[in-house]
Amino acid sequence: MSSKRGTHEELDGGMFSDGLPSLIAAAHELKSPLALVRQLSLMLESGDVTDDERQRLLRQISLTSERALRLTGDLTKSVRLDDAMFQLEPINPQQLCEDIVHELRPLFAAHGRDVSVQSRKHPLLLVANRDLLRRIIMNFSDNALHYTEDQSAVQIQVNALKNGQIIRLGVRDFGPALSSDMWRTLQSKLTSAPQPVHARPQSSGLGLYIASQFAVAMNGTIGVTRHRDGATFYVDLHASRQLSLI
Amino acid sequence: MSQQSILIVEDDIWLAEQQSRILKKAGYKTTISPHALAAIEAVDDGKYDVIILDVLLTGSTGFALLHELQSHSDTNIIPVILCTNLATDLSLDDVKPYGVRRILDKTTMEPDDVVVAVRSVL
């Protein structure tokens, strides 16, 4: 933990003046999964469940705990970002996204939803830290899972921008459209880093703020595009020149 | 006597399913709406005796729904039970004018508390 911890001055939105996530924001984000795990456990304790229900409750407890653990992992990583050396390397984003989809599909299926990667004909390479990029996409996907409509699919997209110099990884969700007020708030938060980014009203914005920090550590940025039926949260990173040299 | 009908407005589907299961077992009919817009449609389409409402929802918050409910003479009489992680930050006196009759704290409540709360407002 940073020695500066004692001098943190908490700002609105749950960030300290030095950009570290506040304890309040972290506690808020962890409250929901912990409260859910408690409720599901109490149902199990009551014993008033069938074998099928017991299996389903146990699965839901495991998946909810994993979600909370991912957040604690992101928090730890975020606080230590300045102290750590993160190796940037050429990464195939399509392959990384397919690995993430493989990992997340059981969680999505348990919620009656699906997640997929939009396939590309031509491979792309970007420069990133594999762990940080994975955490960003997991974070966006978790956000999309809770926002997208029942029985719909979240889509992870990989696109080249600016003549191939920038690679954009986007997570498209399908849910109620963001209101204009929410959109303006979100845009202002996105363009005034290191202010926290509020993805949805129910969120403290901590997850997206951490994603933003991870992106900056890889010389990238995060953003959001509004659609009539949802939103795309994306990270822009520099393309690797390795392919062009072949 | 016809079954009394409860609208559960909750974006955490697993929690909503558990509340629905407990209320059904207690003899109530339930409908789940995952966000405020769906709840408004549900209230337009059906008649509900109680609404159980989460505050921090996807899209508009529970307070937006409370405002909408209060603006119609046929919906401002439906008792609302807030079920939220923010219970310690809310005062019942402050939200009573919006039709809220009880506040349940998700972090400390027992599963059956939802039935007790519904019975207390009917």
- Those residues with Cβ within 8 angstroms of residue B13's Cβ, 6 or more apart along the chain or in another chain: A111, A112, A150, B32, B34
Contact: A202, B11; criterion CB under 8 Å: yes
DSSP sequence for chain B? -PPPEEEEE-S-HHHHHHHHHHHHHTT-EEEEESBHHHHHHHHHHS--SEEEE-SS-BSS-HHHHHHHHHTSTTTTTS-EEEEETTGGG--HHHHGGGTEEEEEETTT--TTHHHHHHHHH-
Q: What is the pLDDT of residue A156?
A: 95
Give yes or no for residue A203 having a pLDDT over 70. no
- The minimal CB distance from B111 to the residues A28, A36, A46 is found for A46
Q: Tell me the percentage of chain A whose pLDDT exceeds 70.
A: 74
pLDDT at residue A179 is higher than 50: yes
pLDDT tens, residue by residue, B94-113: 999 999 999 999 999 999 99
A209 near B CB under 8 A: no
A40/B14 CB distance under 8 A: yes
**CATH 3.30.565.10 at A89-245, yes or no:** yes
- Would you call A201 and B18 a contact, using CB atoms and an 8 Å cutoff? no
Q: What percent of chain B is modeled with pLDDT above 90?
A: 61
Q: Mutate one of B12, B24, B115 to test the A interface: name it (highest A CB count within 10 A).
A: B12
Selected for mutation to probe chain A from B9, B14, B35, B63 (highest A CB count within 10 Å) is: B14
pLDDT at residue B56, rounded to an integer: 80
Query: A4 vs A159, which has greater pLDDT?
Result: A159
Burial class (CB in 10 A: 0-12, 13-18, 19+), A79: middle
Least confident of A192-201, A230-239, B7-16: A192-201
Residue in A3, A189, A195 with CA at minimum distance from that of residue A82: A3
Supply the pLDDT for residue A185.
Answer: 59
The alpha carbon of A47 is separated from its chain's Cα centroid by a whole number of angstroms, namely 35
Q: What percent of chain A has pLDDT over 90?
A: 35
Distance CA A69, CA A76 (A): 11
Pick the CATH number of A21-79 from 2.40.10, 1.20.58, 1.10.3470, 1.10.287: 1.10.287
Quick: pLDDT tens for B20-48.
999 999 999 999 998 888 899 899 888 99
Report the pLDDT value the prediction gives residue A13, as an integer from 0 to 100.
Answer: 44
Chain A's closest residue to B16, CA to CA, is A36
> Rounded mean pLDDT of A144-166?
84
Domains of chain A, residue spans:
21-79, 89-245
Residue A194, preceding peptide bond in cis (omega within 30° of 0): yes
> CB-based contact (8 Å) between A23 and chain B?
no
Domains of chain B in sequence order: 5-112 (3.40.50.2300)
Residue A182 and residue A201: Cα distance in Å, rounded? 8
Q: Quick one: average pLDDT of B48-64?
A: 86
What pLDDT score was predicted for residue B20? 96
A128 confidence band (pLDDT: 50, 70, 90): very high
Residue A84: which residues within 8 A CB-CB, separation 6 or more? A77
Using DSSP, state whether A108 is helix, strand or coil.
helix
